[in-house]
Amino acid sequence: MTYTQTTPDRGSAVPASAVHEGDAATASSHGTPDDRSASRAGDIDDVARLLQADGSRVADAGLDPWIVDLSPHQLRALHRDMVLTRRLDTEGVALQRQGQLALWPPCRGQEAVQVGTAHALAPGDFVFPSYREHGVLLARGAKPEAYVLAWSGEEHSAYDHTTINAAPPQIIIGAQSLHATGWAMGAQRDGATDVAVAYFGDGATSQGDVNEAMVFASSFAAPVVFVCSNNQWAISEPVAVQAKYPIAGRAPGFGIPSLRIDGNDVLACVAAMRWALDRARRGGGPTFLEAVTYRMGPHTTSDDPTRYRTSDEVERWAERDPIARFEAYLRAEGVLDDSALADVAAAADALAAEVRSACVRATTRAPETVFDHVYAEPHAGLATQKADYLGYLAGFETDDLR
């Protein structure tokens, strides 16, 4: 008698060529076992990849078909958004150091997964980012000069979600995974082909919410893609605290196909995301992507990573830089030359200048606006509180308090 007994330390690899059939369930029945041992949880090379660290292209029968159509123009756009993201990020850090921003959570090192997955989206898709997804939001069309103000303390959220189909950045770890799933259930009910995307980190996978999101997504076959940026750290905790086995291995237990990709390889990120989105649009339900990447900077500008990790580790990851890798590839392919690179650098400088000037120009809104938008409809109690507070403020001789 055979029966189901599953052990944690094995995945069941399916031929990569099966991936693009968009039907993992069928594909899997042709699988061959993957016998690598448990230790591969930390194996950052146990990933699907199209570009090696030096920029050389490797074949992957599963992923290749999903990017064959990328035009030079699209490739340059990917590159450009990665560079712009890095520049935005560098500027964010600098502005915080100079007291212009209250806080900045750097995304350096994670540009490929952010930009790559975002470029795969259709305008009607909706993203639910965490606080670190600067590249996703930039690629979605958030105006950088408005966007940064969410980190200056002027606003909780500084872009209009309706224009870029992106929810406000989520700070409560994992909460947005449920919102994405619910939104996807709505798209499903509308008979639309729109897909929701939840972005979160490796640490978030420990939260009940993320697991409940997988339960709901699976139960309703909701068109949602979970993108877990496994950047190896949740503040000071290495991913091993959250997961002894690869995170990508968790979703299948919920009935959700998953793929572990090189999160520093933008082509793999585009390809995997297109595959996942396509599955969703065809009614195939949710997909889980684990993008193996690295948070090159501190958790936020308030953090001191030297307390918990070695510079060795950081240096090793620097060799896997997503932008350098892609640049090398594009140059080799003749898609990018010095002059194009100079253009991008100039655009990045312009972006940085605009962001900086927006910060410097920013003025704090009027005190009474703290009472706005608590409710969508009139609220007598709050109106009284507002009037009282304005009366109190009016008692001051100067308007210094404002």
Partner 1 sequence: MSALTLGAAINAGLTRAMADDERVLLMGEDIGKLGGVFRVTDGLQARFGPQRVIDTPLAEAGIVGTAVGLALRGYRPVVEIQFDGFVYPAFDQIVCQVAKLHYRSNGRIRMPLVIRIPWAGGVGAAEHHSESPEAYFVHTPGLRVVAASTPQDAYVMLRQAVASDDPVVFLEPKRLYHSKGEVDPDADLADAPPLHLARVAREGTDATIVTYGALVGTALDAALAVEDEGLSLEVIDLRSLSPMDLTTVAASVRKTGRVVVAHEAARQAGVGAEIVASITERCFHHLEAPPERVTGHDIPYPPSKLEKHHVPDLDRILYGVDKVLDRTGEREVVL
Ligand X SMILES: Cc1ncc(C[n+]2csc(CCOP(=O)(O)OP(=O)(O)O)c2C)c(N)n1
Residue ranges in contact with Mg ion by CB under 5 A: 201-202, 231, 234
Residues binding ligand X: number (CB under 6 A)? 15
197/179 Cα distance (integer angstroms) = 10
Choosing from 203, 263, 285, 297, the residue that interacts with ligand X (CB under 6 A) is 203
Catalogue the active-site residues. 295, 299, 308
Residues binding partner 1: number (CB under 8 A)? 82
In the region spanning residues 171 to 190, those forming contacts with ligand X, defined by CB under 6 A, are 171-173
101 binds, among partner 1, ligand X, a second copy, none (CB under 5 to 8 A by kind): none
Pick the closer one to ligand X by CB: 126 or 200: 200
339/79 Cα distance (integer angstroms) = 14
Cα separations in angstroms, 73 against 81, 141, 230, 339, 356: 12, 18, 29, 15, 29
C-beta separation of 215 from 222 below 8 A: no
Pick the closer one to ligand X by CB: 44 or 362: 44
In the region spanning residues 229 to 258, those forming contacts with a second copy, defined by CB under 8 A, are 241-246, 248-258
Pick the closer one to partner 1 by CB: 56 or 369: 369
When asked if residue 364 is in the footprint of partner 1 (CB under 8 A), the reply is: yes
266/226 Cα distance (integer angstroms) = 17
What amino acid is encoded at 314 in this protein? V
Site string for a second copy, 146-185 (x = CB under 8 A): ----------------------------------------
When asked if residue 156 is in the footprint of partner 1 (CB under 8 A), the reply is: yes
C-beta separation of 191 from 401 below 8 A: no
C-beta separation of 41 from 240 below 8 A: yes
Pick the closer one to ligand X by CB: 132 or 325: 132
Instruction: Please count the residues of the chain.
Output: 402
C-beta separation of 139 from 336 below 8 A: no
> Applying CB under 8 A, which part among 58-66, 289-297, 320-328, 364-372 lies near partner 1?
364-372
When asked if residue 346 is in the footprint of a second copy (CB under 8 A), the reply is: no
272/60 Cα distance (integer angstroms) = 11
Cα separations in angstroms, 369 against 45, 156, 374, 385, 386: 51, 13, 10, 12, 9
Rounded to the nearest angstrom, the gap between the alpha carbon of residue 90 and the centroid of all alpha carbons in its chain is 17
> Applying CB under 8 A, which part among 16-24, 39-47, 52-60, 149-157 lies near partner 1?
149-157
Pick the closer one to partner 1 by CB: 159 or 326: 159
When asked if residue 90 is in the footprint of a second copy (CB under 8 A), the reply is: no
When asked if residue 73 is in the footprint of partner 1 (CB under 8 A), the reply is: no
Rounded to the nearest angstrom, the gap between the alpha carbon of residue 395 and the centroid of all alpha carbons in its chain is 48
Q: Please tell me whether residue 159 adopts helix, strand or coil conformation.
A: coil
Choosing from 20, 46, 113, 176, the residue that interacts with a second copy (CB under 8 A) is 46
Q: List all residues 6 or more positions away from 380 whose beta carbon is below 8 Å from its beta carbon.
A: none
What is the contact surface with ligand X in residues (CB under 6 A)?
132, 171-173, 200-204, 231, 233-235, 295, 299
What is the contact surface with a second copy in residues (CB under 8 A)?
1-14, 16, 19, 24-25, 27-29, 31-35, 37-38, 40, 46-49, 58, 60, 62, 205-209, 211-212, 215, 218-219, 241-246, 248-261
